[in-house]
Amino acid sequence: MECVAPPAGLEQAGSDMAILGKQIYKLTHSKTYVDLITRLYNDSEGLTKTQASAVRHLYEDYAKTKNISAKLSYEMDLCFNKAYTDWLNAKQADDFSLFRDSFAKVIAYTRQSVLLRDEQKETVYDTLLDDYEKGGSIKQLDGFFDALKARIIPLVRQIVKEGKPIRSDFMNRPVPIPQQEAFSRYLLELEGLDRDKLVLMTTEHPFTDHYGDVDVRVTTHYYEENFISNIFSTLHEGGHALFMQNEPKALYDDHAADRMTSAMHECISRFFENVVGRSEEFITFIMPKLRELSGHTFDDVTAKELFEAVNIATPSLIRMEADELTYGLHILVRYELEKAFVNGEITVDEIPALWKEKYKAYLGVDVPSDALGCLQDVHWTGSYGYFPSYALGNAYGAQILRTMEKDFDVYAAMGRGDLRQIGDWLTEHVFSIASLSTPDEWIRAITGEAFNVNYYLDYLEEKFKKLYALQ
Amino acid sequence: MECVAPPAGLEQAGSDMAILGKQIYKLTHSKTYVDLITRLYNDSEGLTKTQASAVRHLYEDYAKTKNISAKLSYEMDLCFNKAYTDWLNAKQADDFSLFRDSFAKVIAYTRQSVLLRDEQKETVYDTLLDDYEKGGSIKQLDGFFDALKARIIPLVRQIVKEGKPIRSDFMNRPVPIPQQEAFSRYLLELEGLDRDKLVLMTTEHPFTDHYGDVDVRVTTHYYEENFISNIFSTLHEGGHALFMQNEPKALYDDHAADRMTSAMHECISRFFENVVGRSEEFITFIMPKLRELSGHTFDDVTAKELFEAVNIATPSLIRMEADELTYGLHILVRYELEKAFVNGEITVDEIPALWKEKYKAYLGVDVPSDALGCLQDVHWTGSYGYFPSYALGNAYGAQILRTMEKDFDVYAAMGRGDLRQIGDWLTEHVFSIASLSTPDEWIRAITGEAFNVNYYLDYLEEKFKKLYALQ
């Protein structure tokens, strides 16, 4: 549907998917299935560790929805579908009022469905955070975002005020698409992906998906005038692909793979995109190949200039276009708002104004419209508690980097283009246990200590102070 | 699996297909399904014509295998799978004895499974012919092939002896693959295919498949030095695609589409490949575009020279590489052998020698080995009675052409590149009723008379006598 199906075939493919969806619902709500999964969950003796893990995930999937009646489930589907359409219209018309009612209903249904569960965390939003990032809570994330606020906001202000100017005139020079594709393949090869298990295709909105470890599909989108941006998109998707290709075979065999949290997956993709891809060492390494494959379009650009240009940090309006440094502040705004409206502390009508207030306060920008403000992301048409994953992933990565550096010189490896050394380390220490661990267990097992946001903040400060020649 | 999946993913995709296959078996052998389909088949009152047709086909699918026990079915699967492997080994080693035992067993199982049916035709081979080409029989095909033999064999001999020499030095000039792809898209566009409902991809062995009429997938294979061959492969697959895109929507809605015989489908693909594609009129029309897109690789070749070169008729060893004229003789050999061994008139041990004898007698060629002889095709590892479809499809096309010519000047349309006029006519008269008709009903409804092989033989004689400047 995303890469191959012709436009006229999409509706039919959608109906086919709906038929399969109904079958999945039927199977996972059948008495046989529920009895089996409940029994195995309550008595896992005799199961291997991976089997027990698979059972636990299946049981938890079931437990989350078991008290939701078919009628409520149907009403929710209708409401969420309508919310998506309303949101799209509201965004296009730049008119929050078109989304308002649906938004309020989606929040109400979400609260209701959480409150029906047997297991409750302290607040509804805590439960939702725990859904996406096992063990996550308001308490943990308040600490995380407070620290981020305290150190990143001043740094961004300092860059705006005193940062040295950075050249970026070359960023949108056109490169023919076949050359871009060749460069993408080169990058995926560098990342150590097994090409016998890999597909590279194009789509509108890049993503990576897989069927087990043997068939991993990376997609990207080439724009002639966005060659440099495609480099980072490819490195990012390649990071996801590396994770998918290198979970232990035993986990795939027991259907226990692919159970890490989104933040854990994003941690790896962003590691390759930002920590590796936006490092001076790696940029210097790929520069000759980049010059050659782009037909010498960048012959007047030094590696240092390219490194600086791909790291320009600017407060802006749109999360999806944000740089490595300011990205977390975009998430901060969303986190604070979600927490408040999900837990009933503010109403939906207050959201547009609060959004503008927070963007002004944290990023120093004036939000001119809701389309460029609180209507920009699709997420609030149905999922709350997911946004923090984006920021957590970055933070995990910095902590893992510091541990990796105890074993070998990571930046020297980047400078040699030896991403395989990094991938091998990740396979051994990070991929091997991800699906069997909560984020907390995972970070402790890898780094020997609890998650600590300061690694991330140190990393950002060090990188961006140096880049902008600040004290 | 054919176009996208990476090499390492194929085995897993195969297992997934096997799981789906088992589910299909279960569903179509469940009591509910069988009762329903039997009741509707026996009492179709209240069903629309298309619904009744869908039911009839589903019932017949069921009836063919209903007396085959699960045990026999399993044994047959094992045997047929082993036969495929044995055949592959035998062909590679050029050693018929490696295939002999499996071959004999497959024939025996095929006979057994036919003899178990409630409905029997005169002989086992008659039943198999009827499976592939409803209404087909030895009687009908003996007449068809006798006529073909009587007129084509002398014509081929005459060409070999007296035909004028034809220039073909340019046939394998290399053309870069992007240009070949652009030319393929141009041809599909000319054929009148709706690009919103079309996919063009590459694969090892070209085929066309579809999901309803809204998602039709053409595949091809580009070889730098086989540009001209790709033109005809694309026109051929485009013909299949046109049929798939233009069956009436109502038939798709009632799952009554796609029930024409293979010969009826091949009739259309070969019509576009041979009747249109290998006509002087069409070649002349596409010549400027062909020159341009190939980077002027063919500037020294006239349209007439290209027309003649793509129609060179030569007795040869391999069916899949045979030309329009001699193709039927390759099928003739297979027909005569199949008929004899399926009905127990000869043993498998006699096949290699008889193959050589018949190739010498009908095509005048010496078969140097079984790999280039009776081991060349995959079909005999499990399907008998299918080969005649290839020849019948060509013959249907010639008869349809003569009817079409009563409505408009078909060759003039080709000369204008106006294949849409041809496609529109086919949609109205040919595609509209195909799935609802037996081949006999279909040909009568289109042409107003019974199938008559002489249209085909006249067409071939006229075309090739002129081409080779014969009397």
Q: What is the distance between the alpha carbons of residues B227 and B237, in angstroms, rounded to a whole number?
A: 15
Q: How far is B210 from chain A (nearest CA, A)?
A: 10
DSSP per position, A151-209: HHHHHHHHHHHHPPP---TTTT----HHHHHHHHHHHHHHTT--GGGEEEEE-SS--EE
pLDDT exceeds 90 at position B14: no
| Tens-place pLDDT, residues B194-252 | 999 999 999 988 999 999 999 999 999 999 999 999 999 999 999 999 999 999 999 99
Strand order in the sheet with A208-211: A198-202, A215-220, A208-211
**CA separation for the pair A40, A215 (Å, rounded):** 30
Helix (H, G, I), strand (E, B) or coil at B138: helix
Q: Per the structure block, which two tokens stand in for A131?
A: 């859904």
Environment class of B239 (CB within 10 Å of its CB; exposed 0-12, middle 13-18, buried 19+):
buried
Long-range CB pairs of B283-286 (<8 Å, 24+ gap) are B283/B307, B283/B310, B284/B415, B285/B414, B285/B415, B285/B416, B285/B417, B286/B187, B286/B190, B286/B231, B286/B417
Q: Which amino acid is at B298?
A: F
What's the whole-number mean pLDDT along residues B86-112?
Answer: 97
Chains A and B form CB pairs within 8 A to the count of 68
Given a cut of 90, whether residue A205 has pLDDT beyond it is no
Cβ neighbours of residue B79 under 8 Å, at least 6 residues apart?
B102, B105, B106, B109
A340-388 pLDDT, tens digit per residue, is 999 999 999 999 999 999 999 999 999 999 999 999 999 999 999 999 9
Mean pLDDT of A161-186: 96
Which CATH number, 3.40.50.2300, 1.10.1370.30, 3.30.830.10, 3.40.50.620, labels domain B123-471? 1.10.1370.30
Q: Say what the pLDDT of residue B196 is.
A: 97
What whole-number distance in Å separates Cα of residue B297 and Cα of residue B35? 63
Contact at CB, B215 and A11, closer than 8 angstroms: no
Q: Is residue A86's pLDDT more than 90?
A: yes
Within 8 A of B11 by CB-CB distance, chain A residues are: 214
- Percent above pLDDT 70 for chain A: 100
Average pLDDT over residues A147-171: 97
Summarize pLDDT for B260-302 with one digit per residue, the tens: 999 999 999 999 999 999 999 999 999 999 999 998 999 999 9
Nearest-CB residue to B12 (from A3, A7, A214):
A214
Cross-chain Cβ contact A8/B212 below 8 Å: no
The average confidence (pLDDT) of chain A is: 96
Nearest to A431 by CA among A259, A232, A218: A259
* Burial B420-437, CB ≥16 within 10 A → b, else e: bbbbebbbebbbbbbbbb
Task: Output the pLDDT for position B22.
Answer: 87
Cβ pair A314, A326 in contact under 8 A: yes
Phi-psi region of B364 (alpha: psi -120 to 50; beta: other; left: phi over 0): left
| Residue B15 pLDDT > 90 | no
Q: How confident is the model at residue A19 (pLDDT cuts 50, 70, 90)?
A: confident
Pairing assessment for the beta strands B215-220 and B198-202 based on DSSP bridges: parallel
pLDDT reading at B2 higher than 90: no
Spans of all domains in chain A? 1-65, 123-471
Nearest CA in chain B to A4: B199
Contacts of A35 (CB under 8 A, 6+ apart): none
CA A358 from centroid of its chain's CA atoms: 22
pTM of the model: 0.91
- The CA–CA distances, whole Å, from A420 to A194, A246, A351, B423, B460 equal 11, 12, 46, 55, 62
- CB contacts of B196 in chain A (<8 Å) are 6-8
> How does pLDDT run across A274-293, given as a tens digit for each residue?
999 999 999 999 999 999 99
B431: enclosing H helix or E strand = none
Kindly identify which residue of chain A lies nearest to residue B214, measuring between CA atoms. A9
β-bridge pairing A198-202 and A208-211: unpaired
Which chain A residues are within 8 Å of B15, Cβ to Cβ?
Answer: none
Strands A215-220 and A198-202: parallel
Residues from chain A that touch B217, judged by Cβ atoms under 8 A, are 4
- Residue A80: pLDDT band (50, 70, 90) is very high
pLDDT band, residue A249 (cuts 50/70/90):
very high
Q: What is the CA A36 to chain-centroid distance, rounded?
A: 33
In A268-417, at which residue ranges do the beta strands (DSSP E only) sit? none
Q: Which residues contact A165 (CB under 8 A, 6 or more apart)?
A: none
Q: Which of B6, B13, B178 sits opposite A196 (nearest CB)?
A: B6
pLDDT tens-digit readout, B79-96: 999 999 999 999 999 999
CB nearest B197 (choices: A6, A195, A201)? A6
Residues of A with Cβ-Cβ distance to B9 under 8 angstroms? 197, 211-212, 214-215
Q: How far is B420 from chain A (nearest CA, A)?
A: 20
The reply to whether B237 belongs to the active site is yes
For residue B254, give how far its alpha carbon lies from the nearest alpha carbon of chain A (Å). 14
ipTM of the modeled complex: 0.86
pLDDT given at position B449: 97
pLDDT at position B18: 86
Minimum distance, in Å, between the CA of residue A13 and any CA atom of chain B: 9
Sheet holding B198-202: strands in order across? B198-202, B215-220, B208-211
